[in-house]
Structure formats: C-alpha cells, structure tokens
Structure 1
Amino acid sequence: MNSPKFQIVVAGTGAVGKSAITLQFIAKQFVQKYEPTIEDVYKKMITINNQHVILDILDTAGQDEYSSLRSHYYAKGDGFLLVCSYDNFSSIEEILEFKETILQAKDVEDSSQVPILLVVNKCDLSNKDRVFSRKEVDDLARLYDLPVIETSAKNGTNVDNAFHKLTTQILKQKSIGKKDSKTKTKAKKEKKKRSIRCSIM
C-alpha cells in the first residue's frame, strides 16, 4: 500500500521563523541568520498511528511583495501552519488575513473545513521579551477558531508536534471526506433505484 502524500504550507508574515521551524523539523538544525524566503520545498516521511505519511513542505514568503503568489500556494495545500512569533506583534495581527486568503483559495466558508494550525514561535523568549502573552494567543485562537501550539525553532520545542498535529488533522479531514463521498454515492444509487422502480410502475 502506497503511503499518502500531503502538501504542508508554512505561512505567516516575514521574520517569524517559518524557515527555522521547517529546517528544525527536516534536519534538526537551527538557522539563526534571517534571509527572506521566496519558496523552498522539502520532503519528509513521518509515522502517524503506525501509518507512514509523506509530507511535501512548502516554506513560503511572508513579505507583502510576494502576496500575489499566496493564493496559488494555498490552492494546492492539504494543511497549513500559520506562524507568528512572540517578538512580533504585527505577526499575530496578520494571522486573520492569512487565514481568510486560505479559505478563499480553497473556496470554503470556515476553518473547520481546512486543516490549519496556529503556531506561535519563539516560546523560548522570557516574558519580558514577549510583546503579547499566551492568554492573548489563546483568546485570538478561539476568536479565529484555530487550534494553537507554541514552538521554539531555536531549541526544537514542539516543532515535531506541530507537524504531527497538523498531519493528524489532515488525515481526519480526508477520512471525513471519504465517508461523505461514500454517503453521497450511496444516496445517488438509492435515488436511481427508486427512479427505475417508478418508471417500471
């Protein structure tokens, strides 16, 4: 049986640690120097509930000048890590915009229809170095109806968990989609049978 393959899109404004999180997950390396990303693609196999899953991870640009590319990236994505960071207040303010762009690209009405995980990076920072609190994060996550996780790309805290949690969401969503599809197919067959019986009578 072939392993399922999913595309993970890592999105968020610039300088929040999207590339650092991705490289920590892929290679267990922390890259401190910030260089703006246009598009990088990585591949990794993980195991979820004894099932092998292949992840194609797309690390996207956060800068406004690349915003026109986002809909193209998002339309192909199976799941999304929306990244903000504790030292960047605008990064959490812009999460809603990223979320809305994803929903538009996927042509759905709410986030329950798309696997999205809010990732708050740089949890290794002390409280005095943070520009917003965990409580503010939790309040915003409830408002935006998104699950949330704290990470530190620097020391690896919860980085693997973030990708695993999102992949679990994707598998669950795909499973629901298959069940819905089977239900619709069964309903169509029943309707066709009733139509045939009515025609005979």
Structure 2
Amino acid sequence: MTELRYQIVIAGPGSVGKSAITLQFISQQFIRDYDPTIEECYKKHIYVDSEVAYLDILDTAGQEEYSSLRSHHFQNGDGFLLVYSVDNRKAFEEIVDFHDEILRAKDADSLPIVLLANKIDLPKNNHEVSKKEGKDLADSYGYPFMETSAKNVINIEESFAECVRSIRKERAALEQKSGGKGKKGKGKCLLM
C-alpha cells in the first residue's frame, strides 16, 4: 500500500518568499509584510493525480543563525521545495549551499527536490536571475523547475503537487529496489 503522508520542507535563503508561498498554499492569502520565520508547521491534504496526499509542511528559517535547527528538519523531510527569488542574485547563489546541506542531512546523493524561482510577478527589469539560469541549475541536479508567484498565485499548488510526485517516484524506486518491502527492506540484521 502506498504511504499517503508526505513531509515537505520549504527551504532557501531568507526573504525569498518561502512563507508567502506556504501561506498562499495553505490559506489562499498573500502576506506582504516580511517577518523572518524560525519555523512554522502546517497540514493540508490535496489530490495529486487523483490520489489523496496528506501533507505535513515545514516552513524553515533561511537565516544562517538557524542552520543547526534547519539541518535537523532536513533529516525528517520526504521532499523539499528549494526556493530562491528572481530579484536576488545572492539568494540564487546560496541555493547550492542549501542543496548540499539537505543532501548531507539526509546522507543522500539525490532527493525529491523541486527548485522554485519565486517572485516572477516582479517587473522584468528587477530580475537578477534568468529563467534559463534557474532551469539549468535544476537540470544539473536532475530536479523539476518551476517559476512561482505567491502574490499572483502562479504554480503554488502545482509546486507542492510536483514535490509529491517526486516523493512517490522515489518511494516506488526504493520499493522496487528492496523487492517490495519498502523502506523497511533497506537494512538487514543478522542475529547471532
């Protein structure tokens, strides 16, 4: 039986709109004021490809002073929305560090991650990162890429759905690899 619960972690540098994306998804409202997040948890269920998905969503802090707390949360995530803002070149460059931190925390080479270029509603002359740069980065990791706007509700629900699809794909591959035993079939014990 397919596991229907998904722990999705929203990660990325500060001020890129992680909380705005999350709140738009959870409550269909756009928050204009920036209030740095330490950690916020939400629950929601959606249908992805006609199958229910129960989401536990963790909106994490982007500030460096919370990196140890972040790493702990990364360990528990099933999938990740990795967010940068198109109007912030430095945030885009920091995505590599966040990506590496997630892989270290999970002790993995690859994970269900969707790369999000947020704030695409801003005027083009404010964009410091092109769509091609974001897509090229996602392609280099083998991850899906989406452009989002919490303000204009662009690809908000779709980004969570894509993350669920990525998690399902990984779970199916693990189950097939372990001979149908799922995650439990991964390790073997020898009692003597």
TM-score (norm 1): 0.86
Q: 2:112, 2:143 within 8 Å by CA — same for their partners in 1?
A: no
Q: Deviations over 1:65-104 (max 9, x none)?
A: 1011121001000000000001111111011111111111
Instruction: Give the equivalent residue in structure 1 for 2:112.
Output: 115
Unaligned runs of 5+ in 1: 189-201
Alignment partners' CA distance in 2, 1:50 and 1:142:
27
- Tell me which structure has the larger Cα radius of gyration: 1
Count of equivalent residues? 183
Task: Report the identity percentage.
Answer: 51
Alignment of 1:90-169 (within 5 A): 90-109=90-109, 111=110, 114-169=111-166
Q: Bigger shift: 169-178 or 37-46?
A: 169-178
Instruction: Give the equivalent residue in structure 1 for 2:14.
Output: 14
Q: Bigger shift: 126-135 or 1-10?
A: 1-10
2:63 corresponds to 1:63: yes
1:49 CA displacement? 2.0
Instruction: Give the equivalent residue in structure 2 for 1:173.
Output: 170
Q: Which runs of 4+ in 1 moved over 3 A?
A: none
Classify the secondary structure of the residue corresponding to 1:94: helix
Classify the secondary structure of the residue corresponding to 1:120: strand
Classify the secondary structure of the residue corresponding to 2:121: coil
1:61–1:6 CA distance, 2 compared to 1 (3 A): same
1:34 CA displacement? 0.2
Instruction: Give the equivalent residue in structure 1 for 2:190.
Output: none
Alignment partners' CA distance in 2, 1:143 and 1:63:
25
Q: 1:24, 1:153 within 8 Å by CA — same for their partners in 2?
A: yes
Q: In proportion to residue count, which structure has more helix?
A: 1
Q: Deviations over 1:5-40 (max 9, x none)?
A: 110000000000000000000111000100000000
RMSD over equivalenced CA pairs, Å: 1.9
